[in-house]
Amino acid sequence: MKKLLIYCLLAPLITVAQTDTTKTETPKKTHWYDNISIRGYTQIRYNRLLETNEKLKNEQGDKSWGEHGGVFIRRMRIILFGQIHERVYFYIQPDFASSASSTVLHMGQLRDAYFDVGIDRKNQFRIRFGQSKVPYGFENMQSSQNRLPLDRNDALNSACSNERDLGAFFYWAPSDVRKLYTHLVNDGLKGSGDYGVFGFGVYNGQTANKPELNNELHMVARLTYPIKIGKQIIEPGIQGYSGNFVMPTDQLSTGVKVVKDRSYFDQRYAATFVLYPQPFGIQAEYNIGKGPEFNKVTDSIEVQDLQGGYITLTYLLKYKKQVIMPFFRGHIYSGGKKHELDARSYDVTEYEAGIEWQPFRNFELTAMYTISERRFEDFKTQNNLQKGSLLRLQAQLNF
């Protein structure tokens, strides 16, 4: 009788406890927006220290070189990204430090706006749709947040202004290689990011944020593979693209001669070799091809040969939580730049020595001394050879 009485008194409490436990163990429903993340970086520069020639400029890279250059916001990026479905990933990156002209700075402009659709459950095979980087060149793929030299090399970067265009790209990489690509970036080894072991795609060919001007798409293909040899990791690669580039009318001087439809053959091939810095690193690329280039002898834009490349040497030092990376880069380029006025003709020889110091993950300071010799000529500016040197400084915020 006593046991029955105790059970009657405790039964309601036991039932409540069981009910509460059931509620606690119910899995929380997740929504697609729970998987969205935000990150970004900002770069502030000054390029006028120890400057020997204010006429020396680099339109392709940092527009604050030379006369009238001052403290300059080179990039201000805020990135939204996320795996919103097991087979759908999206990435949107605007830049709030774009230059609409030489007199209007810090304008917002779209850099990336794409989504990846996985063909298989592991997303080893995927297709990327939208505006994104064209898979041509390791340094072009490498984020400016991670790159050591302050600007990309002229030789490969002249292939595609801002490295991007509108198109569709197929990428394949095994899951273990995709994890390695992530490791090479997150561990500060200056990786290029995950653009697959093999990439193939079609794109407009007029470069990012520009309308298509013909009915022909460019085609690109890239093959690369990271290989572990003991503690070292090397990554060789090859890539190439082909298409026809149409010179926009707003990029032509009055009087310059062009073909009737302003369309020019545009084709390149490149080879890449990377030894990731553990602690010594090498990064080297070279490309050859044909493209539009201004010819001052005929005052016309013609399809001409181009070639050039670079080599970057690095060393990784870690002291407690600080990271110090001295580096040296030499690069050359001879050819035209289709995205500049009159497909401006270039001969470039440049040497850069610098050091990046990261006292903590959210802040970096880079100092780089540049010795440069640049011939850059268009219809209005001919016989223009500029030589000089300058010390360049950059402070970078990572968040």
First-residue to last-residue Cα distance in the chain:
69
If one counts every other C-beta atom within 10 angstroms of the C-beta of residue 376, the result is 23
Maximum CA pair distance of the chain? 116
258 neighbors 246 (Cβ within 8 angstroms): no
Query: Which residues pair with residue 296 across a beta bridge?
Result: none
159 neighbors 133 (Cβ within 8 angstroms): no
Collect all residues with Cβ–Cβ distance below 8 Å to 264 and sequence separation of at least 6. 244, 245, 246, 247, 291, 292, 301, 303, 338, 343
The reported pTM is 0.90
pLDDT score of 30: 76
71 neighbors 45 (Cβ within 8 angstroms): yes
- Sequence length of the chain is 399
168 neighbors 129 (Cβ within 8 angstroms): yes
Per-residue 3-state assignment (H helix, E strand, C coil) for 12-73: HHHHHHHHHHHHHHCCCCCCHHHHEEEEEEEEEEEEEECCCCCCCCCCCCCCCCCCCCCCEE
* Distance separating alpha carbons of residues 4 and 350, to the nearest angstrom: 94
The domain ranges of the chain are 32-398
> Which structure tokens are listed for 309?
């490349």
343 neighbors 371 (Cβ within 8 angstroms): no
pLDDT score of 305: 98
pLDDT score of 103: 73
> Which structure tokens are listed for 113?
């706006």
Helix (H/G/I), strand (E/B), else coil: 154: helix
Collect all residues with Cβ–Cβ distance below 8 Å to 261 and sequence separation of at least 6. 214, 246
pLDDT score of 24: 53
Domain covering 32-398, topology? Porin (2.40.160)
pLDDT score of 387: 98
The residue with tokens 């030894």 is 275
Residue-level pLDDT, tens digit, the chain, 399 residues:
444 444 444 444 444 444 444 455 566 777 878 899 999 999 999 999 999 999 999 988 898 999 988 999 999 999 999 999 999 999 999 999 988 766 788 899 999 999 999 999 999 999 999 999 999 999 999 999 999 999 999 999 999 989 999 999 999 999 999 999 999 999 999 999 999 999 999 999 999 999 999 999 999 999 999 999 999 999 999 999 999 999 999 999 999 999 999 999 999 999 999 999 999 999 999 999 999 999 999 999 999 999 999 999 999 999 999 999 999 999 999 999 999 999 999 999 999 999 999 999 999 999 999 999 999 999 999 999 999 999 999 999 999
Single-letter residue type at 332? I
pLDDT score of 9: 41
pLDDT score of 335: 98
Collect all residues with Cβ–Cβ distance below 8 Å to 343 and sequence separation of at least 6. 247, 251, 264, 291, 292, 293, 294, 301, 336, 337
* Distance separating alpha carbons of residues 88 and 323, to the nearest angstrom: 35
Q: How far is CA 177 from CA 114, 160, 173, 270, in A?
A: 22, 27, 6, 22
- Could you tell me what percentage of the chain is helix, strand and coil, using 3-state DSSP and rounding each to the nearest 5? 15, 50, 35
